[in-house]
């Protein structure tokens, strides 16, 4: 009897789907995002590449019955230069050159082998993204050229698709839009170790769609905690690999983009086969950021066809994360069954609540050069308050102190000041007076110049300093004379009346955020906004000024407020 009822129900659904195609949406409760992990080892031989081809076929053939709404390849599409030269030394950094004809020819042939990945584009309404990994560049780990990837993954073909939102000037960093339960989502695919320009592109997309939830994909983001590389990343599951000055590792991406944008609720990555494939962090608003790594390239035959399926259940307000392979056969295939190890994971995720939060709150970022509609904000002012005129003259001539606000004791004492002017008012780019402030976050970037009595020698002999930063909201404008004199009185007031903020710094630029909600609420309610003073009682610190050459290094004030 149960079988007859089941047959009748399925027949009824099929009948309505044929007569009324939109009627099927009534029964749709689950929506699937497919993560294609690193596929580079599939390209090493014909036996391996079979798995890759079957992955693409399965996605295409199961789009409807699995309700697949988006596909993201996390990067390392091909094994660009593995196994051809000792240690690949001539292919790394400045040693990479275009004169190696045999290598370039081989790489071109490898890209031809995976051209079938473009079959995803044959389905008009299937949104997808392919983000380049370090193996996808013309020379491994060298971001100078990406011609092979660009010739194969040609996004220009999809510019007129409804789901394609756009690309940056390189054509590598892209944005897509798709729906879950008739709610629109944004996906942003970023290059390996995203450049500052890539982060600006992502922020532009978010600013243009402030009410839509956002998912990011970038190749290298999470790390293997029990065997981190480099070792200094051990305290965090988010990567901290060495990068060039204009590129960003996982931790820098989190601080510069993810942490202060509540729209971002999920991040996908590959690069590291990890026991911790799922990390849930909190952003500045104490909201979940679900971060997933998918990389099985170390399994037999290049990965045994394993993919990660993320299923959104709109009835249960949850997502299920599980691994699936169209080619793995229990007790026949070599290697672990990744659907059992570690098995499925269910996470609470209320998309309705997320949508409600974004619809009821406004998010605005203020920093010099940030554009709000037609207004290019330029009203952030900062300065150093020196102990003496001589100290001011000497330090103004030292190159490393240019574009930098000094804080603490360093051949004399220094107090920093920062004031975001004209941010409360009735214009479209301003915060309306008497707004309910959900969160106000001040973000500062420090360079390598710092020291403290409190320090530790970390992995590889790297020094890390810990300081107590005093941030003091000013209740009235400083007189011009304060720039030279009365530093003693200011220092005493700051130390007495402000709250400690604990900061850390090392040999690389560090971006850190501070909760300033309480003082900003007072300013929104009518108190005078004269900015902040900064002081470190024991040690020395600094932050980049509002005149810094790099926009992302400039101080930023993020305000989240009720409409």
129 or 27, higher pLDDT: 129
The span from the CA of 379 to the CA of 435, in Å, is 21
Is pLDDT above 80 for 106? no
The pLDDT tens digits for 165-197 are 999 999 999 999 999 999 999 999 999 999 999
The pLDDT tens digits for 344-371 are 899 999 999 999 999 999 999 999 998 8
Q: Which of 44-58, 66-80, 188-202, 392-406 has the lowest mean pLDDT?
A: 392-406
Going by C-alpha positions, the residue among 384, 387, 504, 391 that lies closest to residue 450 is 504
Highest mean pLDDT among 114-118, 383-387, 405-409: 114-118
Q: Which of 193-207, 303-317, 362-376, 489-503 has the lowest mean pLDDT?
A: 489-503
Is pLDDT above 60 for 3? no
Give the model's confidence band at 394: pLDDT under 50 very low, under 70 low, under 90 confident, else very high. low
Is pLDDT above 50 for 483? no
Residue 436: the pLDDT is 97
Give the residue carrying structure tokens 């969160």.
Answer: 439
309 or 483, higher pLDDT: 309
The arithmetic mean of pLDDT across residues 296-301, rounded, is 93
By CB atoms closer than 10 A (0-12, 13-18, 19+), residue 4 is exposed
Residue 237: the pLDDT is 57
Is pLDDT above 80 for 84? no
62 or 500, higher pLDDT: 62
Is pLDDT above 50 for 491? yes
The arithmetic mean of pLDDT across residues 62-76, rounded, is 96
Is pLDDT above 90 for 7? no
Residue % of the chain over a pLDDT of 70: 76
Residue 97: the pLDDT is 54
Mean pLDDT of all residues in the chain? 82
The span from the CA of 187 to the CA of 511, in Å, is 24
* 8 Å CB contact between 134 and 220: yes
Point out which residues pair with 371 in neighbouring strands: 376
Residue 448: the pLDDT is 63
Task: List, as one string, the DSSP characters of 315-377.
Answer: TTTEEEEEEE-SS--TTTSSS--TTTTT--EEEE--HHHHHHHHHHEEEEEE-TT-EETTEE-
80 or 225, higher pLDDT: 80
Q: Which of 7-16, 232-241, 398-407 has the lowest mean pLDDT?
A: 7-16
């Amino acid at each position: 009897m149960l079988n007859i009822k089941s047959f009748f129900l399925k027949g009824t659904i099929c009948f309505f789907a044929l007569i009324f195609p939109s009627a099927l949406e009534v029964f749709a409760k689950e929506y699937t995002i497919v993560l294609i992990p690193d596929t580079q080892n599939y390209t090493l031989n014909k036996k391996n590449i079979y798995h890759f081809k079957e992955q693409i076929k399965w996605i295409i053939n199961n789009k409807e019955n699995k309700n697949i709404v988006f596909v993201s390849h996390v990067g390392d599409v091909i094994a660009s230069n593995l196994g051809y030269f000792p240690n690949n030394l001539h292919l790394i950094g400045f040693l990479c050159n275009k004169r190696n004809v045999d290598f370039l020819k081989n790489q071109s042939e490898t890209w031809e082998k995976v051209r079938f990945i473009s079959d995803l584009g044959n389905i008009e309404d299937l949104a997808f993204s392919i983000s380049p990994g370090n193996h996808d560049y013309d020379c491994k780990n060298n971001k100078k050229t990406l011609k092979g990837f660009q010739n194969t993954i040609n996004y220009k073909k999809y510019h007129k698709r409804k789901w394609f939102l756009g690309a940056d000037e390189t054509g590598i960093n892209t944005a897509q839009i798709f729906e879950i339960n008739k709610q629109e989502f944004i996906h942003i695919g970023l290059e390996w170790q995203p450049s500052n320009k890539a982060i600006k592109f992502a922020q532009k997309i978010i600013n243009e769609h402030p009410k839509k939830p956002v998912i990011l994909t970038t190749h290298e983001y999470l790390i293997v905690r029990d065997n981190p590389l480099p070792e200094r990343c051990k305290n965090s599951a988010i990567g901290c690999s060495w990068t060039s000055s204009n590129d960003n590792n996982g931790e820098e991406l989190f601080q510069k983009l993810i942490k202060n944008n509540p729209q971002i609720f999920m991040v996908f990555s590959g690069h590291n086969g990890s026991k911790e494939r799922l990390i849930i962090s909190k952003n500045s608003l104490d909201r979940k950021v679900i971060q997933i790594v998918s990389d099985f390239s170390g399994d037999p035959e290049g990965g045994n066809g394993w993919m990660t399926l993320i299923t959104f259940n709109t009835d249960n307000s949850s997502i299920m994360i599980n691994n699936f392979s169209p080619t793995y056969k229990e007790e026949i295939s070599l290697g672990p069954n990744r659907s059992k190890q570690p098995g499925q994971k269910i996470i609470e995720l209320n998309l309705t609540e997320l949508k409600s939060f974004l619809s009821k709150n406004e998010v605005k970022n203020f920093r010099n050069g940030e554009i709000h509609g037609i207004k290019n904000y330029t009203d952030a002012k900062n300065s150093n308050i020196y102990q003496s005129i001589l100290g001011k003259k000497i330090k103004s001539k030292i190159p490393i102190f240019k574009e930098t606000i000094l804080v603490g004791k360093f051949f004399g004492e220094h107090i920093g000041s920062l004031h975001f002017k004209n941010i409360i008012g009735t214009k479209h780019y301003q915060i309306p007076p008497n707004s309910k402030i959900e969160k106000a976050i001040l973000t500062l970037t420090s360079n390598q110049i710092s020291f403290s009595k409190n320090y530790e020698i970390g992995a590889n002999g790297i020094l890390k300093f810990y300081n107590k930063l005093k941030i003091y909201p000013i209740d009235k404008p400083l007189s011009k004379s304060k720039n030279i004199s009365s530093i003693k009185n200011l220092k005493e007031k700051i130390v007495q009346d402000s709250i400690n903020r604990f900061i850390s710094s090392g040999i690389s630029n560090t971006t850190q955020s501070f909760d300033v909600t309480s003082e900003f609420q007072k300013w929104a309610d009518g108190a005078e906004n004269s900015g902040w003073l900064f002081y470190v009682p024991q040690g020395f610190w600094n932050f980049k000024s509002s005149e810094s050459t790099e926009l992302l290094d400039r101080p930023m004030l993020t305000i989240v407020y009720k409409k």
